[in-house]
Amino acid sequence: MADLYYIEDDQTIALAVKAYLEPKGFQVTVCATLAQAKEDLKKHVPACILLDWKMPDGCGDGLCRWIRGSWPEVPVIFLTVRGDSTDIVSGFQNGADDYLVKPFALEVLYSRILAVLRRTGNGARRYLSCGGIMLDQARHGVYCGSEEIPLSAAEYQLLLYLMQNKGKTVTRERILEHIWDAKGTYVNNNTLTVTVKRLRSKLPQPECLKTVRSVGYRMEDTI
């Protein structure tokens, strides 16, 4: 199932799009403001973004630039009313992948979403997010906003594995097997404890890395 964010303040339109797309295999999150969309994007990057150009708290070009600054591969389709050619030009200048003029047929919207996903792939899969941090698997980097968080190789692999299993408790045994034993490096439990402690000290929201006593660890959103 591919997930997408629909940034739209008209709830009638938003719910109609959601009702149409979800039976076709999409998980749709509706954001009624640009501010809400920003907060949701800090927590999770979807496969595709539908962006209405005229929003109560501003125009979509600024948000589109902001998205492109952090996640250049995630496709953005912006929606504009008929005749607003300046919106179309601004949208492409600021990084939109496609546009659709309102009112639009739901079948056309669906085909445009499939088209941009075919062209771009699911670029969002390279990003993992939790607790205000973003892990870029292609760059092997971890970021808080535009600032990179320096991690050792073991800290990065630990964070990657926990974020790949976000919301699930991963046992200490599984972590040791996945990060160290699989590479032929046998370490004791104390090595994992020290690595978790060092990683937690570097995270902007250290409480997102939960210790499940006598079991293991779990990553979960706290903001």
Q: If you write DSSP's letter for every residue of 42-86 in order, what string do you get?
A: HH---SEEEEESEETTEEHHHHHHHHHHH-TTS-EEEEEETT-HH
Q: Is the pLDDT of residue 14 over 60?
A: yes
Q: Is the pLDDT of residue 133 over 90?
A: no
pLDDT over 70 for what percent of the chain? 89
Q: Express each pLDDT in 28-54 by its tens digit.
A: 999 999 999 998 988 888 989 999 988
Listed in order, the ranges of the chain carrying CATH 1.10.10.10 are 131-219
Predicted local confidence at residue 144, as pLDDT: 84
For residues 80-90, average pLDDT: 65
Q: Is the pLDDT of residue 108 over 70?
A: yes
Q: Is the pLDDT of residue 85 over 60?
A: no
Of the candidate CATH numbers 3.40.366.30, 3.40.1360.10, 1.10.10.10, 1.10.150.20, the domain formed by 131-219 belongs to 1.10.10.10
Predicted local confidence at residue 194, as pLDDT: 95
Q: Express each pLDDT in 148-202 by its tens digit.
A: 999 999 999 999 999 999 999 999 999 999 888 766 566 778 999 999 999 999 9
Listed in order, the ranges of the chain carrying CATH 3.40.50.2300 are 2-124
Domain 2-124's class? alpha beta
Predicted local confidence at residue 69, as pLDDT: 85
